[in-house]
Structure 1
Amino acid sequence: MSTDPATDDAFTGAAPADPVARMAEAAARAYDLAAADRLVRRPMPTLDIVNERFLRHLRVGVFQLVRRGAEIAIAPVEVQGYADFLASLAPPTNFNVVALQPLRGHGLVVCDATLISVLVDALYGGACTLQAPMEGRDFSPTEQRVIQRLLGIVCTEYNKAWKEIYPLELAHVRSETHPQFVNVAAPADKVVVTTLKIAIGDFEGSVRICLPYGALDPIRDVLYGAQQAQAMAEDRRWVTALTREIQSAEVTLVAEFAQAELTVAQLLAMKAGDFIQFDRPARVVAAVDGTPVFACHYGTHSTRYALRIDECLRGDDPHWLGGSHDR
């Protein structure tokens, strides 16, 4: 039998007698080095909602830029190493460094050459059926101006998508064509990549938004916030329910056929059997609570008085309903 206490502790598994050793053993904890990587690769429900909003806004922005329909699709969010992201890009590629205000750090908005060529063709009246060769040369001044216009739209619409969630804004810092000048993250660092495919005519190009995961770490709870994503989904259900209830609400439609002007003396002098003369207008306006809604003709239908709608009245001003309806 061994008489060494240290040897006995090793075989029996008993706690060491030294208090310092016991405290050191109690403080030791197992740490999984891959745990952080698993956290990065978890789904980000809030970012998915942001991208859905961004997609809707960008469709309108691109249409206003080229004045023709564009098919835009967004790929699922990817989390990969920064070096792997750069290696996946085929030159020539336009890199735009953007600040992530109010967060620290920078991100990238990357436009490929195919998309720039298609946009230039569309803006200058082309049919988007030919692609100008761009290998072995830098972007021309005209192409750079088109890139800046597209970048402005991307940043503006992306900021709108974040507006109700977090005040994140992309602000352009500089543009580059060589990846070695856009080190927004270390090669081994993780980045969050959102890829948009934009098809115009016969060609399709891509816009990629690359955000370093380290820069997004201060809002990690927002990105992984299932409760916030669920609240937004519930909010959309509330809007749908409210829209359905509003559409089923009953309103009173009033059509004013004519107006006659009388003095007070004429009104007081009237008696039973008198007539009020007025001119019959060609069209009448039907209103709800004083708000003009339809321009109509009036007549009879199936032996009943009826209105035939000629035009739905709308206003360019978002407050066209009037001051009493702005609330």
Structure 2
Amino acid sequence: MFEKEYACPSPPTRKQAKKELRQAQSCAEQHAHLQASSGSPFDTVQRRLLEGEHLKGLEMINQNFAGRFRRALFGLMQRRTDISAEAILIQPYREFIAQLRPPASLNLVNLKPLRGNTLFAFTPGLIFTALDTLFGGIGRLPDTQEREFTPAENRVIDRLLKMMLQAYGDAWLRLHPLEPEYITAETSYLFTGFSDGEMVIISPFRVAIGGMQGEFAIIFSQATLEPLHEMLSKPLPGHICRDQGQWRQNLARQLQGTELELIARFADLPLYLSQVMVLRRGDILPIPRPDRDRLTAYVDGVPVFLGSYGSLNGQYALRVEHVINEGINQLNNKDISHE
């Protein structure tokens, strides 16, 4: 009797085990559906989107910074330069690192009086785009491996970071003055001071210099920006927006004094390499008459004007008939807003 009362239950049959498994899966699916329909506050993806959308003040600072840095970078590169501020991201640090291709330059900066360090991360695309623009190159990225940068690469990184910190400090000046102070540079994410699971606020930027592109990002921990959360979640005050408009006007006026090379393609001469190798001084290359009445004028490879060719006062001339790039009109004094 004793042994029968405490005997172990017999194991379930295969049919019973399958039935129990189906019941457990059904319960799990119902629970997941209820969570999705109720908008659970623990939905991390939804929370990241909402928090990112609420940082309106930081978005406007990023736009201001992008304009200031664009002007400084154009002065250094002397090439067509564009910088765009992408959408702010809030995610674990490990997710950001997983998308970062080595060799990357990770620069730790202290933005006084904010607590903690801020990370300025340069992708290989930005570093080698700037390097090729300044010193020439083929624009091909090196092997994807963590390594130390060469002295020439470090000089380019230092120059970029110096201009970037100056522009970033100026972008914050009227809202909450910051004093950027460089600490150190790393090539491995293990030594940046951020933990894998730490939630970070990422401001990504895309840079285009000529025909090449690169990216960089500014990374804060949530704890660093927490004291400024209320300020950064609102649009910037009106006087700061007016300052940005004045800055755009000043930039447009300064750009009017920039010297550009205007190239009009009159004809193309397709030749084989063997023909080019036998050319000598005095050889004549026949230029066919264009089969079209209009020529396109380019600035740094970008089409800007469309016109007809002819002569004026004994010189070849191009009559402008159509402006392809309407952005040129924005540099005219009559089109500059004085609001």
What TM-score, normalized by structure 1, do the two folds share? 0.56
Match of 2:165 among 150, 155, 174: 155
SS, match of residue 54 in structure 2: coil
Query: What SS is found at the alignment partner of 1:79?
Result: strand
Query: Structure 1 residues 214, 48: closer, same or farther in 2, change over 3 A?
Result: same
Q: Paired residue for 2:206? A: 197
| Distance in 1 (alpha carbons) for counterparts of 2:229 and 2:191 | 28
The one-character-per-residue Cα deviations of 1:183-221 (angstroms, maximum 9, x if unpaired) are 23x322221111111112332111111111111111112
Letter in 2 for 1:189: E
Alignment partner of 2:87 out of 76, 98, 106:
76
Q: CA deviation at 1:134?
A: 4.5
Higher helix share: 2
Which of 129, 135, 139 aligns to 1:130? It is 139
1:143 is aligned to: 153
Distance 1:48 1:200 in 2: 23
Q: Over the residues paired in the alignment, what is the CA RMSD in angstroms? A: 2.9
Q: Does 1:46 align with 2:48?
A: no
Shift of 1:41: 4.1
In the TM superposition, residue 239 of structure 1 has moved relative to its aligned partner by 7.2
Alpha-carbon contact 2:131-2:156 (below 8 Å) kept: yes
Runs of 4+ in 1 over 6 A off after TM superposition: 236-240
Question: Could you say what secondary structure the match of 1:91 adopts?
Answer: coil
Aligned residue runs from structure 1 range 169-318, under 5 A: 169-184=179-194, 186-226=195-235, 229=236, 231-232=238-239, 235=242
How far does the alpha carbon of each residue in 1:260-298 deviate from its partner, in whole angstroms, 9 at most, with x for none? xxxxxxxxxxxxxxxxxxxxxxxxxxxxxxxxxxxxxxx
Contact 1:129-1:201 at 8 Å conserved across structures: no
Q: How high is the sequence identity, in percent, across the aligned residues?
A: 29
- Residue 142 of structure 1 aligns to a residue whose secondary structure is helix
Unaligned runs of 5+ residues in structure 2 are: 1-39, 248-339
2:72 aligned to which of 49, 61, 79? 61
Distance 2:176 2:237 in 1: 16
Larger CA Rg, structure 1 vs 2: 1
Q: CA deviation at 1:43?
A: 1.6
Q: 1:44: how far off? A: 1.0
Contact 2:64-2:244 at 8 Å conserved across structures: no
TM-score for the superposition, normalised by structure 2: 0.55
Check 1:216–1:81 CA distance in 2 against 1; reply closer, same or farther (3 A cut).
same
Quick one: distance in 1 between partners of 2:126 and 2:43?
A: 38
- What do residues 27-59 of structure 1 show as CA deviations (whole Å, max 9, x unaligned)? xxxxx9759957744421111111111111011
Counterpart-to-counterpart distance in 1, 2:212 and 2:232: 34
- How many residues align? The count is 205
